[in-house]
Chain A
Amino acid sequence: NAGVTQTPKFRILKIGQSMTLQCTQDMNHNYMYWYRQDPGMGLKLIYYSVGAGITDKGEVPNGYNVSRSTTEDFPLRLELAAPSQTSVYFCASISHRETNEKLFFGSGTQLSVL
Chain B
Amino acid sequence: DGGITQSPKYLFRKEGQNVTLSCEQNLNHDAMYWYRQDPGQGLRLIYYSQIVNDFQKGDIAEGYSVSREKKESFPLTVTSAQKNPTAFYLCASSMTRDNEQFFGPGTRLTVL
Decide whether A and B are members of one complex. no
Q: Chain A residues in contact with chain B, CB under 8 A?
A: none
Seen from chain B, the residues whose Cβ lies within 8 Å of a Cβ on chain A are none
